Amino acid sequence: MALPREQVSDGLLAELDVFEQLIRPLSDEQWNTPSRCAGWTVGDVARHVVGSMADVAAGQLDGLGTEAVTAREVAEREGRSAAELADECAEVRKAAAGLLPVFDDAAWSAAAPGGFEGTLGDGVEALWFDTWMHNNDIRSAIGAPSVEGPSMAGGISHVCFELRKRGQSDEIVGDPFTWLLVATGRAEPSVIGEGAPFDIYAS
């Protein structure tokens, strides 16, 4: 685990607050705008983010992050408004705030449950990254500027972790935010050129 436990836990909770504030005021038009996540609207992105945290809070960890589980998270929240998803985001954030301190250092460093290849701490970092990156996916879709901020440290740490798992170089080439977009399939490698990272979502 490259980043300190407190930084990861606090980062996730702070990013969930940001996410709630981002989606709550969205109009119906914005909610139904296609995002850069193929096949997903802004609302679908929000359904996945909130659904993932709801699954974690409920202890439903098997297959978390897989296509099947992600599709279920979105489907279960079909038809809910931005305000309704924001309310649920606040609820799962509260649940996470109560759950994170329960784990001691040994549990944090032990293998994560649910089939995730990494420690529990790595898994929490993945949730932090996912929330932050999808925040920026929504902002991109509605024409708002991207936000890097403190959470980008979690994004870089998580993507480097995934690249190392795949035997790929985790050297950051060029602008770090653009590098993250390339590494997650959100931008073409040509925008970086030689030394572009492997897409961590490619099969």
**What are the counts of helices (DSSP H) followed by strands (DSSP E) for the chain?**
9, 0
Please tell me whether residue 111 adopts helix, strand or coil conformation.
strand
Give me the domains of the chain, ranges plus CATH numbers: 5-191 (1.20.120.450)
Identify residue 163 by its one-letter amino acid code: L
pLDDT digits (tens, 9 = 90+) for 91-147: 999 999 999 999 999 999 999 988 889 999 999 999 999 999 999 999 999 999 999
The SS3 assignment for 164 reads helix
- The confidence score (pLDDT) of residue 113 equals 86
Low-confidence ranges of the chain (pLDDT < 70): 1-2, 203
Closest CA to 177 of 144, 153, 194, 142: 153
Residue type, 159: V
Triad 67, 191, 201: Cα angle to 5°: 15
Query: What pLDDT sits at residue 194?
Result: 86
Question: Is the pTM of the predicted complex or chain greater than 0.85?
Answer: yes
